[in-house]
Amino acid sequence: MTRDDRRKPNTGRQEPPRYPRRSPALDAIERGGGVSWGGAEHRRQAARRNAIRGARYAADESVSGVDFNSVGIRKLLPLRPTSKTPAIQAAAVAPELSEEEASRLSELEMRLPRVAGKIDSWLLIIVLLLSCIGVVMVYSASSFLAARYEGDAAYYFQRELIWLALGLVALLVTMRIDYRVWRRYSLIGMIVVLPLLIIVLKFGTSVFGASRWIALGSFFSFQPSELTKLVLALYIADWLARKGKQVGTFLYGLTPFVILVGFILGLVLLENDLGTAIIIAGLATVMFFTAGANIVQFLLAMVCGSSIFVLEAFRGYRYFRLLGFLDPFKSVTGFNLQLYQGLLALGSGGWFGLGLGASREKTGYLPFPFSDSIFPIIGEELGFVMCAIIVILYLFLAFRGFRLARRSRDLYGALLATGITTWLVLQAIINIGANTGSIPYTGVPLPFISFGGSSLVVSLAGVGVLLNISRYIQEPATPALSPQTIGLHKKRVRAGHITSSQQA
C-alpha cells in the first residue's frame, strides 16, 4: 500500500481513473479536500482551466458580434494535435464540447486571422524564369513581322512588357490575399464570367474563324475563356469542399458537376476554341477526382465526355488537323502548313540552335511565330538544350504545385492548388505536344512564354494564388489530401460540424 492510499479516507466511493502526469491539486479536489499549498504546478492547472472556460465562451460568443481580430481570444482556443503537441497532451487540454459548440468554435477559427509564413521561393523563381524567357523570345520571334507590318520591330515586345507588368501586379495582389477569401467571391466570379462567354459569341472579334476576344478600342482586348480557367478553379474548389461525402453520389455530386462544366464547355466550343475546352475539362475532372468521386461514375462521365470531344474533333477544320497528325508531311502547303514548318524549325536548330534572332521560319514561313508557335522558334534559335530546359521547368512547376496541394492545411486549398497546377501544366503539354506532332494540332498559348495579354495576366494571377497557399502549408501527420483526412472531413460534414457559414 502506498503512502497516498494510507492517507485516503475510506468513503466506499470508487475513485475515477487517473491520467498520466495528473496534478496533485486536482486529486485533492476530487477527494473532497482543499488545496492549502501553492506552486508552479497549481498555477499551471488553474491556467489550463481558465483556457478551457475561455474557449467555451469564445465558441458561445462567436455568432454574437465578438471581435474576431482579438489576439486574446485566439490564444484561448484549444490546442491541436501536431508533431510538437501529441494527441494525448492536446486531449488533456481540449474541452469536451458539444456538436453545436464545436461547430461554432470551428467557425470562429476559420474567421480568425492567420500568421502567414514564407512563400514557395522555388515556384516563384520558376515562373519568373519562364516569364523572362518569354519576353526575350517574343521580341526575337516578332521583330521581323512587327517591323514589316507595324513599322516598329519592338511593337509586340513593348505590348508584352505592359502585359507582364500587369501580370506581376496581379501576382503580388493575389499572393497577399488569403486564399480563403476567394471562397466568398467565387460565385460572383461565375456570375460575371458566364455572361462574358455569351457576349463574346455575339459581339466578339473573330480571328481565323474563332470568336474569342472582346475588344475595347484598338489597343486593349481580352479573352473571357482565359479568365474562366481561374474563376472555375476557385468555384469548383469551394463547391467540392462544401459537398463533402456527397461528391461520390450521382444525384448531388456527378449530375450538377456535369451540368455546370458541360454548360461552360459548350460556350467555349461555340467559340471554336477546342484547346481551351480541353484545358477546362481537364482541370475540372482532376479536381473532381481528387475530391473523392465515385470511380465507376467518374469513368462513365469520362467516356461520355470523351465521346463529345471526339465528335467535335471530326467537324470542320479539326478533321484536317487529325489527318495532319496521322501524316505530318501530307499537304504541307495546305492544312498541314503550321505543323510542317514547326517541325522544320525544330529540326534545323540542332542541339544549340542557330543563335538568338537567327530564325528563318519567323520571316513568314511559320504562322503565329510569337504566339502559338513560339516553341519551334525557341528550338530553331536556341536548340534542343533550351527546349529541354523549358520542359524541365514545367515539370518542376508541376512538382511544386502538386506538392502544395499535398501539404495544404484544408481541403479547399488542396483542391484549388490541384486545379491551378493542372491548368498550367496541361496547357503547356498541349502546346508543346501540338508543335512537336505528339498530339493533334490545336492552338493554345504556351504559359508565361507566348505573346498574349489575357493568358499572361490570368496565369500570373493563378500563380499568385498558389504562392499564397504556400504561405500556410505545414508538415502535418495527415495532410489535407490523405485518405484519413478526407474521411474525417466527410464524417464532420455528416455530423453537422461544417456549416455553410463556416465555408464562407
Residue-wise pLDDT for 331-358, tens only, equals 788 878 888 899 999 999 889 999 998 8
Low-confidence residues of the chain: pLDDT under 70: 1-113, 206-211, 217-219, 316, 474-504
State residue 35's pLDDT score. 44
Q: DSSP states of 223-235 as a string?
A: -HHHHHHHHHHHH
Strand order in the sheet with 210-216: 205-207, 210-216, 220-222
DSSP 238-275: HHHHHHGGGGGSIIIIIHHHHHHHHHHHHHHHHTT-HH
Q: What sign does the CA torsion over 322, 327, 332, 338 have?
A: positive
Q: What is the pLDDT at residue 122?
A: 95
pLDDT recorded at residue 330:
81
Cβ atoms of 409 and 472 closer than 8 Å: yes
Residue 443 and residue 438: Cα distance in Å, rounded? Answer: 14
From the number of C-beta atoms within 10 Å of its C-beta (0-12, 13-18, 19+), residue 27 rates as middle
pLDDT tens-digit map of 188-210: 999 999 999 888 888 877 666 66
pLDDT at 216: 73
Write down the pTM of the prediction.
0.73
Angle between helices 224-243 and 274-290 (to 10 degrees): 20
Q: 303 by DSSP, 3-state: which?
A: helix
What b/e sequence results for 354-391 when a residue is b if at least 16 CB atoms lie within 10 Å of its CB, and e otherwise? beeeebebbeeebebbbbbbbbbbbbbbbbeebbeebe
Question: What's the CA gap between 103 and 107, in Å, rounded?
Answer: 6
> Which three-class secondary structure state does DSSP give residue 117?
coil
- The closest of 229, 280, 265 to 459, measured between CA atoms, is 229
Cell of 167: 501580370
